Structure 1
Amino acid sequence: MKHLLILVLIVSLSACCTKNNKVTGPYLGQELPGDSAQLFAPGIINDGIATRDITFTPDGKEIYFGKNIGNSSFSTILFCKQTENGWTDPEVVSFAQNAEYIFIEPFISPDGTKLFFVSNMGNEITDANRFVTDIWTADRENDGWGTPYKLDTTINSKYPEFYPSVAENGNLYFTREINQQNFIYKSEYRNGKYEKPVLLPKEVNCGRARFNTTIAKDESFMIIPCIGMPDSYGGTDYYISFFDKEKGWSEAQNMGDQINTPTTHQYSAGFSPDGKFLFFMSSGTNLNGIKSLTYENLQLLHNSPENGNSNIYWIKADFIEDLKKQAIFTEKDTK
């Protein structure tokens, strides 16, 4: 019952800011960002609860995102849908309502036919292995999703797998944790099946720890949250690596202070359906004019974005082209 009450709290707090106040227009009616990052949909997507992982249907009319409480101990996936009467209030996806399990990291395939996510469903749940997770998917059925199913043992192993990201050709990129170390893998999708995953090279598996890569639809680059790089801003930073058919992957390049800060909560990125906007997770604080910490003001801050929990921001993705011009490719040993 305690778990159920916590999940209800997530849903009710997420919906309270939009109830009886329908918003219209693309991207929840938000003003489009420019070259500086902006908080995305405050009061709707970002509401004070830790928020991460965002993905869109190809037409942009459905937005899926994650909420978590207690360092992800209670996690679920919510969505908003654009209708003739405006955007719906946030609500939990039907298959992600069991508070005994965690549901995180939604990713909709570029063709819109599959919703990938990560869960510990089907595993023996204890305090020690609560985060032993697998990659799941659900197929599109009319205007909803079918019964989820876990990907087979080609992808899911005895180790935790997480953060699926899928290219237009169906190739799957994900993270596998082995002996408390995270590594990024690629599985090619051929003839309707995933092939044995391949560990990506050191240019991608960079730093002291790396995880949660986001692949470009055409596989021309990937964004890599990484810890322990010499030019880090002090926490987890977003890096980028570009792919060339002859040269391979470029050295991981810090994406700069437009999106990176000293915070550790920078490990989830995604794109708008047209690729024009980059969405990313980060955390920060904003007192919003509050000068005294009364009990009432503490409650206000707790239920407001930028209270130290993670938020989702967005920015024009144009600067990625500038980063591409700076890409450095390691010479291949031809001996």
Structure 2
Amino acid sequence: MKLRTIALAMAFALGCAGAVDAAELLGPGVISTGMQETTAAFSPDGETLYFMRSDLAETDDTIMVSRRHGNSWTMPEVASFSGQWHDSEPAYTPDGKRLYFVSNRPVHAGDPPLTAKMLGQTFAGTNLWYVEQQANGHLGEPVHVDGALNDGAMLYNPSLAANGDIYFSAHRPDSGDLYQIYVVHPAGSAYSTPQRVELGDTSHNRMDPCIDPQGRFLLFAGNEGDSLGRADIYIAFRKADGSWSKPEHLGGDVNTKSLENAPTLGRQFGELYVSSNRQEDVRFPKPRDTAASLQKRLSGPLNGSRDIWRVDIADVLRAHGIKD
């Protein structure tokens, strides 16, 4: 994860794909806190939320779960399948029957945890797993997804389409120096060989895909040469021939001079959640802090850790002919 953050640190400039409503912090103090929170995964009814929480160095990732209670969220708990390994990036299938995630847990019990190597560094590796919804409302035991998609143990941010396609970011032999986005298709009881999604020159870093369930558009984090900060959120639209349009930089409050990544779709049309380490402006002289006020401010959301934000891109989608 740390290397992924390094890989996302690139240039800045301007650009946009249209206006976006003002960003709203998700669950301030409950979901979004002074720790790192990313990757919001909502159940189909919108009543259950899985997300990742970690330390600032991203060496200890855990998947959390919270339930909607009226207009607020319950205090998150560690997900039933997480808490022992480096688990991150939950993603529901559109029908809610499975929740996918990535983990460094060994494929075979008793083996050491997965590791990966890049740029001379060794770090927690990742394979793709899922848990299945049970009749009693609970989630089953984690199941490993076998296949070439896990080659190299550097698979991140799975995103599921309604037809069973799985999109993810990875560093593979045809990725160039950075990360690219790949897709696999169901093939009987397995999956096809991963195919790189053609979005342009591989000199650009592309990560954290989020596929529209119907496959009409693809969101991702990276820098196409016009990022405002370390990484921004882009959108590409599927053309009539099945290829993808040139990625467009999202405008409005989706992107800032901070790091934006891990886009995920909510359950309403145009509802988008992104992770960002944007902070409140500090102006000097500031109201004099006490030890208590300083502790509260620096340990809460907007302290420079990544939080989860909600934005609405419905107008952008409609401008490209995509309707509810």
Q: Shorter-normalised TM-score: what interval?
A: 0.7 to 0.9
Instruction: State the secondary structure of the residue aligned to 1:256.
Output: coil
The aligned residue for residue 191 of structure 2 is 194
Matched length: 287
Q: Give CA-to-partner distance per residue, 1:127-163, whole Å, 9 cap, x none.
A: 9533321111111113121110221023211241111
8 Å Cα contact 2:42/2:92 also seen in 1:
yes
- Please name the residue that 2:60 is paired with: 74
The CA deviation at 1:208 is 2.3
Q: Distance in 1 between matches of 2:116 and 2:268?
A: 41
| Matching of residues 91-110 of structure 1 within 5 Å | 91-98=77-84, 101-110=85-94
Amino acid of the residue matched to residue 277 of structure 2? Answer: S
Q: Tell me if structure 1 keeps the 8 A contact 2:115–2:153.
A: no
User: How far has the Cα of 1:83 moved from its partner?
Assistant: 6.5
Q: Name whichever of 311-320 and 160-169 sits farther off.
A: 311-320
Any conservation in 1 of the 2:199–2:245 contact (CA below 8 Å)? no
Could you tell me how far 1:50 is from its partner in structure 2? Answer: 1.2
| 1:319, distance to aligned residue in structure 2 (A) | 2.8
Deviation per CA, 1:278-332: give whole Å up to 9, x if none. Answer: 111112222699633543333112321111111111122213225637xxxxxxx
Residue 202 of structure 1 deviates from its aligned partner by: 3.3
Q: Give the letter aligned to residue 291 of structure 2.
A: Y
Measured against aligned partners, the alpha-carbon deviations of 1:41-100 in whole angstroms (never above 9, x if no partner) come to 21221121111110111111111111110321011011112479x8532100022111xx
Report the TM-score, using the length of structure 1 for normalisation. 0.78
Contact 2:60 2:86 in 1 (8 A): yes
CA–CA separation in structure 2 for the residues paired with 1:194 and 1:126: 22
Contact 2:126 2:156 in 1 (8 A): yes
Is 2:106 aligned against 1:111?
Answer: no
Q: Is the 8 A contact 2:178 2:202 kept in 1?
A: no
Indicate how the Cα distance of structure 1 residues 153 and 255 shifts in structure 2: closer, same or farther if over 3 A, else same: same
Corresponding residue of 2:269: 275
User: Is the contact made by 1:239 and 1:255 (CA closer than 8 Å) also made in structure 2?
Assistant: yes
1:50 aligns with 2:32: no
Residue 132 of structure 2 corresponds to residue 136 of structure 1: no
Relative to structure 1, is the Cα distance of residues 288 and 88 closer, same or farther in structure 2, using a 3 angstrom cutoff?
farther
Q: Does structure 1 residue 153 correspond to structure 2 residue 147?
A: yes
Structure 2 CA distance for partners of 1:50 and 1:191, relative to 1, 3 Å = same
Where in structure 1 are there 5+ consecutive unaligned residues?
1-33, 326-335
Q: How far apart are the structure 1 equivalents of 2:69 and 2:250?
A: 36
State the SS of the aligned residue for 2:238: strand
Q: How far, CA to CA, are the matches of 2:116 and 2:250 in structure 1?
A: 38
Q: 1:317 aligns with which of 289, 313, 318?
A: 313
Aligned to 2:178: 181
Q: Give the direction of change, closer, same or farther, for the CA distance of 1:160–1:230 in structure 2 (3 Å limit).
A: closer
Structure 2 length-normalised TM: 0.81
Which amino acid is 1:253 matched to? E
Give the counterpart letter for 1:68 in structure 2: S
CA distance in 1 between counterparts of 2:202 and 2:233 reads 12
Contact 2:180 2:202 in 1 (8 A): no
Does the CA-based 8 Å contact 1:284-1:310 persist in structure 2? yes
Q: Say whether 1:243 aligns with 2:220.
A: no
Does the C-alpha gap of structure 1 residues 189 and 108 become closer, same or farther in structure 2, counting only changes over 3 Å?
same
Identical counterparts, % of pairs: 26
Residues 1:271 and 1:218: Cα distance change in structure 2 (over 3 Å): same
Which structure has more relative contact order (CA 8 Å, sep 6+)? It is 2
Q: Let me know the Cα RMSD of the aligned residues.
A: 2.6
